[in-house]
Structure 1
């Protein structure tokens, strides 16, 4: 196993649980390939794996974790509740189904995948998450793709603040106001699509920084996330790219580099995925933007 994990910062969540700052995502990894891909990720040094019920590949993640030879507490596993399963009782049942597929007794982090506001169930779903955490079945609970007004509803209904909000975040969609809101409420920001589905890797600002540092464009973008304090979960299916992504831990951006990347923000025009207020199912029945 790689020793790269020794330099991967452990980020403390608001409930005291720690998570590796640089993790590994399996969105769009085919179910039949997932076990091998996650096995490679663990072999090169990743120790945090992010999946979701909607990705249809939880079984492969669980199989790779079981076969890794690593102690259970060495691997941080995240999964997410699919939108059609929102609601108190349905969330409890969906959690049991995910745990069966992952073959785990305790989950490290469980997220509401989207607020799905048209369903009107995310508060009831959150209450089910709190019960699961209190029962010792989940170490940490959080959300994904929530906006401040969604959090307001949670805050009015419960006293438990999500530990994480996993959002689309990259140089073209930097979500500064939402990140500020997170910081004010003790919620950590986790970035999905951290390199804008590869769109920002040819940006001359980023490639110029990479050339000067002797790094790759992907390493520069991932390092930008790390220095902002984001948790980040890049995806790759090839071991060489996985190692490259971990190499982001070995470089440092200067203040001028951070400022240059900050200037790439396009606001909502930079969004590649779905707007949280208009995405109500996964993967069917959705409306983009």
Structure 2
């Protein structure tokens, strides 16, 4: 793998590039979001991951404007919520998100989860494909889809000519999702990792602490480095200035193959919701 730094990017199927490290704002209160995102942008992040469901799209965009950076230099993501599945509802949700943020376009819009049934999923995806053609979003993708949902979508794409650019999932050493990862890698789809720090539930894990001491890095930095070396785009979140900065300081060390093997737990332990298993 080529050496990465905070300015490194991956090329998506859309032809656009996505920064290898993102800044997440899930559960960040709106009143704290602008400051946190602005701090992240000042540290060097160029990638902000929001969602309509998070209720902080406006504050994320305010921070982008306040940063002094060009709009084209910041990669901004939002998501279609589960209560807006279906063609017309998704079209309205996309327009609503852009209006809330006061942005002309999003860099990436994802379907947040595969709920609502096949007809609704296909309608939502068609709306995303149209939004991409109309310039409302540069790239499109899905979040929390199981392999059966992805196979369904691939079949539908043959009819409408759409392409998946990004898949976003809860991913960490205790939830590596090898089947989903393999599906995307075969199709050159960029994989994003949300909750890459396991919502701080594993910071005292002996395996992690050992590697933290070995590399003189925090457990969080080790987890984010694991994610990078897996080829994922991790999306850590924090409202603490020091941690925002620490979470970006992951490009000056490397986990060995043995270290990576140590973190191959084989466990399936989500700390968030898990719509991938939905049979609907």
Q: Which category describes the TM-score, using the shorter chain as reference length? A: over 0.9
Q: Which residue of 2 is the match for residue 42 of structure 1?
A: 41
Q: Which residue of 2 is the match for residue 199 of structure 1?
A: 201
Cα separation, partners in 2 of 1:36 and 1:14, compared to 1, 3 Å: same
State yes or no: 1:147 paired with 2:149.
no
Q: Give deviations 1:242-282, integer Å, cap 9, x for gaps.
A: 111001122111111011011x2312xx11122215679xx
Q: Which residue of 1 is the match for residue 94 of structure 2?
A: 95
Q: Which residue of 1 is the match for residue 267 of structure 2?
A: 266
- TM-score normalised by L of structure 2: 0.93
- Kept after mapping to 1: 8 A contact 2:221/2:247: yes
Secondary structure in 2 matching 1:141: strand
- TM-score normalised by L of structure 1: 0.90
Alignment of 1:10-25 (within 5 A): 10-25=9-24
Secondary structure in 2 matching 1:200: coil
Q: Say which structure is richer in helix.
A: 1
Q: Which residue of 2 is the match for residue 109 of structure 1?
A: 108
State yes or no: 1:125 paired with 2:127.
no
CA RMSD for the aligned pairs? 1.6
How far apart, CA to CA, are the structure 1 residues paired with 2:212 and 2:5? 24
Secondary structure in 2 matching 1:49: strand
Query: How far does residue 186 in structure 1 lie from its aligned partner after superposition?
Result: 2.1
Alignment of 1:1-289 (within 5 A): 7-118=6-117, 120-158=119-157, 159-262=161-264, 264-267=265-268, 270-276=269-275
Cα separation, partners in 2 of 1:52 and 1:216, compared to 1, 3 Å: same
Secondary structure in 1 matching 2:83: helix
Secondary structure in 2 matching 1:143: strand
- Kept after mapping to 1: 8 A contact 2:225/2:250: yes
* Structure 1 unmatched runs, 5+: 281-289
Secondary structure in 2 matching 1:33: helix
Query: How far does residue 117 in structure 1 lie from its aligned partner after superposition?
Result: 4.1
How far apart, CA to CA, are the structure 2 residues paired with 1:48 and 1:216? 22
Aligned residue pair count: 273
How far apart, CA to CA, are the structure 2 residues paired with 1:48 and 1:180? 24
Query: How far does residue 187 in structure 1 lie from its aligned partner after superposition?
Result: 1.6
* Structure 2 unmatched runs, 5+: none
- Kept after mapping to 1: 8 A contact 2:227/2:234: yes
